[in-house]
Amino acid sequence: MKNYVKPVVLTNDELAEGVYAASGSSAADCWTVEPVSVQDSNGSHHVFEIRCKHSTAVEHISSATTVVLTFSAPLKDAYSEFTSSFSGSTVTVVRTLLADAYKSGDTMTYKVWVQAADEAATKAITCTGATITCTKTVNVQGGGAEEI
């Protein structure tokens, strides 16, 4: 394999259209995610608030985010107000964002309810890991999409 050569990107502010290389699902260089326990039992589930914050350095249209949460125990049940699934000790939540143009520091929060094998395990469960990915959408009219 030959040596990698970093591509060169040129911009021309006088043009109305551009070519955007940041399209599709990718690792979130734009969002951070923080799961916070807000209620250890609502009678059946442990409730976590998922706090997502957009980078102050990136602006683009984000049409969806996918959050993957890992918990300290196997789950018997899990759900969110958004499309979600669970397997073992992992919950995946997909939040469609209606192609919002996220700007510096924008935030979103939502809840995830998880249940372990019994009441004691449910109360004691912790979130041990969280990742977020972003589906970036190109704005063909210019602006609002991350230009690379």
pLDDT of residue 97: 76
Structure tokens at 77: 């049940």
pLDDT of residue 78: 98
pLDDT of residue 85: 98
pLDDT of residue 15: 45
Secondary structure (DSSP) of 72-124: SS--SEEEESSEEEEETTEEEEEEEEEEEEE-TT-EEEEEEEEE-SSHHHHHH
**Spans of the chain below 50 pLDDT:** 1, 12, 15-27, 145-148
pLDDT of residue 116: 97
